[in-house]
Amino acid sequence: EVQLLESGGGLVQPGGSLRLSCAASGFIFSSYAMSWVRQAPGKGLEWVSAISGSGGSTYYADSVKGRFTISRDNSKNTLYLQMNSLRAEDTAVYYCATQMTTVTKVPYWGQGTLVTVSS
C-alpha cells in the first residue's frame, strides 16, 4: 500500500523556521519527482516546490524562492521542505505528493500537515 506521511508542522513565529518531512512507502521513491503543495485556510491549492527523482533538479514557486529549500534522501525514502523566514501568508496545510510530469502520471498524496505562522 502506498503511503506518504508528512510530519513537522506546527506553530511558529513570523521569521522563524520549520522543516517538514514526508516519509514514503509502497512505491519506488527514487523513480519519481516529488512536490509540496499547500492550501491556506479556505483557499485553493498552491504548488510550492518540486524535486526530480535523483534530487539533482529543484523548482520553486516565486512566493517561496530564496526562503524554502526542497530536498530528498532516497536512502531513507524521505522528502523534506526546509522553510525559513516564515510569514503569516505561509500558514497552510502542506501536502507532500508525487509530481505529475509529462512522463509520469502517479497520483500519490499525503494527508497534509498544518503550518501556522503567528505571534
Partner 1 sequence: DIQMTQSPSTLSASVGDRVTITCRASQSISFWLAWYQQKPGKAPKLLIYDASSLESGVPSRFSGSVSGTEFTLTISSLQPDDFATYYCQQYYSYPVTFGQGTKLEIK
What helix, strand, coil percent values describe the chain, rounded to 5?
5, 50, 45
Q: Applying CB under 8 A, which part among 9-17, 20-28, 78-86, 104-112 lies near partner 1?
A: 104-112
Question: Contact between 102 and partner 1 (CB under 8 A)?
Answer: yes
> Would you say 97 and 110 are in contact if contact means Cβ atoms under 8 Å apart?
yes
Of residues 13 through 32, those in contact with partner 1 by CB under 8 A are none
> Would you say 50 and 38 are in contact if contact means Cβ atoms under 8 Å apart?
no
Of 13 and 25, the one with the shorter C-beta distance to partner 1 is 25
Question: Contact between 53 and partner 1 (CB under 8 A)?
Answer: no
Selected binder of partner 1 within 41, 56, 107, 119 (CB under 8 A): 107
Instruction: Tell me how far apart the alpha carbons of residues 64 and 66 are, in angstroms, rounded to a whole number.
Output: 6
